[in-house]
Structure 1
Amino acid sequence: MNNKAVLSTDSKEGQMSADIAKADLRSGKEGVTLQTAPTLYVDGGGIQFAWRRLGPKNGIPLVLLQHFSGNIDAWDPPVVNALADERPVIVFDNAGVGRSTGQTPDSVEAMARDAITFMTSLGLHQVDLLGFSLGGCVAQQIASVRGDLVRKLILVGTAPQGGEQHLMAVLQAAFADTNAPDPRLPLFFTSSANSQSAGLAFLQRARERTEDRDVESGSAVNGSQAKALISWCAVVDPAHTILRSIDHPTLVVSGSTDTMLPVDNAYTMYKAMKNAQLILYPDSGHGVMFQYPEIFVRNALSFLNA
């Protein structure tokens, strides 16, 4: 593997700290982007997690939790890079995804446990979380069971437990669209000319990294993740137990016409959570932050820095 750096928690604590410092120097702010940052590895709970680090060495890290079927290189580079201009940003593959070892769980609860293992294996004591789609479900679960680990939450294009989802129907429609150059175009963007143009630009940006690219998800990952998301939304909980247990400052973000996890989910989260703000973007679908990367980053940083 190119640019491979290994960080193992099997080493002594002092050596682990030294290795993290070395990783920080290699992945610091100057000149390092999502497209160029080395892929690092850390062992935790019997899993070797693949991850990258961008941004300054000091500050509360912003940990990104990825969408269904996505890996590290499925993030939009200008979003990640601009966030890293002001704070440490960590992107990673959860268990079984991309270059991380282990088996992909089929429940949000297990995915949250693995993500917590990853963060604690890096020695992180407090983080901000940005969870997109399935990653937003995982972020809610983490904040509910390990509130001490989380400072603030950004939940993008996601759903609460018991929320509305149309995953399989939307996936089937997207893959049946023979006119689309990539299924992400109908999955993430609306049919308007402006949204489609933004989608094509996103697809081009997402292919910019050509060396040491992450491994695409296969049927094993997709099947487990689909079951996890569908099961999460199938739980009937009119009391919104998880949402009401989260008192962290939270920014809820949604596209106006998200067909996969509809905008009503965002309203539900905003109303049920104790300390939430809500932003809706016009003429946008599931990939709202990829359609409006500059505006999204401004909103996200304003929230995180407040």
Structure 2
Amino acid sequence: MAYAAVNGADIYYEVMGEGPPLILIMGLGGNVDWWGTGFRKQLARTRQVIAFDNRGVGRSKAPDGSLTIDQMADDVAGLLDALTIERTDLFGISMGGMISQEFALRHGDRLNRLILGCTCCGGSKQIPPTPRAQQLLTTVARPISSDEAMRCQAELLFPLDFIEKHHELLQAAHKMMVQVPTSPTNFLRQLEAIQTWRGTYDRLSTLEHETLLLHGAEDILLPVQNSEIMHEVLQKSRLIQYEGCGHGFAVQVASRVVTDIQQFLST
């Protein structure tokens, strides 16, 4: 198990493959396991893929107290220092996409290309979760049974017709997600970091990095309009929407996502 001392925290990370570095940043309550070994292995065919647990979740260890998106963006820079990586490509998903935006704005000289998955720019321009998604978020933030947690997580991440047709896949995904569970306290710490984040809308136009926006067209947690808003502001961006996919698009159409990322990074 590999750890890096970063900004007062011990950040757990895993490395796969060789080649130009690609950092993966997971979303709310998630850790390295949530990417899935197969997904990372596909990306690692042409890249050095580095995934890590954000402070406060997974195997990473950090002091008690509030968390901020800015702080977690600085953690990425600290991890690069620990791994002696000068510049990297970055793929952040959901909250990880918020962290990625702040990294691009705070440490832009260390970024090559930026990939933002099912995320938003925060602030007043954010399109909020649907009422059903807000209800599900409230439920998973408190202690509940494993079966109820699986049901809520599935509905947050995937359209109902996909859930009905892929029960075994979702059981396997849930088992993977709870191997290293996030406590309700740490889940709420990260949720508060999202809720208090100032957002990036008024700063995104300053970014000159090539950016790929990926989003499920049926996302209820962060609706696809969020990526459309960022696409309009970012100078050099491309938007791909995955029809029939929700917030968990990278699970639903993993091979397509890998292909789209590889093509973007190789051009």
Global fold match (TM > 0.5): yes
- State yes or no: 1:54 paired with 2:30: no
Q: Determine if the alignment matches structure 1 residue 190 to structure 2 residue 159.
A: yes
Q: Which residue identity does 1:228 align to in structure 2?
A: A
Task: State yes or no: 1:158 paired with 2:113.
Answer: no
Q: Which residue identity is paired with 2:213?
A: V
CA-CA distance at 1:174 after TM superposition: 6.7
In the TM superposition, residue 76 of structure 1 has moved relative to its aligned partner by 2.4
Counterpart for residue 34 of structure 1:
none
Residue by residue over 1:82-132, the C-alpha shift from the partner in whole angstroms, topping out at 9 and shown as x without a partner, is 001111000111222211111374321111112221222211101111100
Structure 1 residues 223, 164: closer, same or farther in 2, change over 3 A? same
Counterpart Cα distance in 2 of 1:200 and 1:286: 19
Q: Is the partner of 1:49 in helix, strand or coil?
A: strand
Residues matched between the structures, number:
258
Which residue in 2 is equivalent to 1:169?
135
> 76-85 or 169-178: which moved more?
169-178
**Larger deviation: 288-297 or 45-54?**
45-54
Task: Tell me, in whole angstroms, the C-alpha distance in 1 between the residues paired with 2:93 and 2:167.
Answer: 17
Superposed counterparts of 1:56-135, under 5 Å: 56=18, 59-103=19-63, 105-135=66-96
Q: Which residue of 1 aligns with 2:194?
A: 229
Pick from 253, 259, 263: which aligns with 1:292? 253
- Structure 1 window deviating more from structure 2 (267-276 vs 213-222): it is 213-222
Distance 2:115 2:71 in 1: 20
Cα–Cα, structure 1 residues 46 and 280, in superposed 2: closer, same or farther, change >3 Å? same
Q: Contact 1:69–1:222 at 8 Å: present in 2 too?
A: yes
Change in CA separation of 1:64 and 1:199 when aligned onto 2, cut-off 3 Å = farther
**Aligned with 2:172 (options 195, 204, 208):** 204
The structural deviation recorded for 1:207 is 4.1
Listed one character per residue, the Cα deviations across residues 182-216 of structure 1 (whole Å, up to 9, x for unaligned) are 43211100011x4543574254156469xxx9632
TM-aligned CA distance change 1:82 to 1:120, over 3 Å: same
In terms of mean alpha carbon deviation, does 101-110 or 85-94 score higher?
A: 101-110
**For residues 287 and 200 of structure 1, do their structure 2 counterparts lie closer, same or farther at Cα, with a shift above 3 Å needed?**
farther
- SS of the residue aligned with 1:241? coil
User: Conserved in 2, the CA contact under 8 Å of 1:141 and 1:242?
Assistant: no
Give the number of the structure whose alpha-carbon radius of gyration is greater: 1
Q: CA RMSD in A?
A: 2.5
Instruction: Summarize the Cα distance change of 1:131–1:169 in structure 2 as closer, same or farther, 3 Å threshold.
Output: same
Query: Structure 1 counterpart of 2:192, which letter?
Result: K
Alpha carbons of structure 1 residues 174 and 45: separation in structure 2 relative to 1, 3 Å: closer
Q: Is the 8 A contact 1:202 1:291 kept in 2?
A: no
Q: How far apart, CA to CA, are the structure 2 residues paired with 1:138 and 1:236?
A: 10
1:230 Cα deviation from its structure 2 partner:
1.9
Change (3 A) 1:108 1:44: closer
> Closer, same or farther in 2 for the Cα pair 1:68/1:236, shift >3 Å?
closer
Between the aligned partners of 1:179 and 1:224, the Cα distance in structure 2 is: 22
User: Contact (CA 8 Å) 1:189, 1:196: kept in 2 or not?
Assistant: no
Residue aligning to 1:304: 265
Note if contact 2:33-2:176 (Cα within 8 Å) is conserved in structure 1: no
Counterpart code for 1:164: I
Q: Flag the 1:197–1:242 CA change in 2: closer, same or farther, 3 A.
A: farther
Residue aligned with 1:285, SS: coil
User: Gapped runs of 5+ residues in structure 1?
Assistant: 1-38
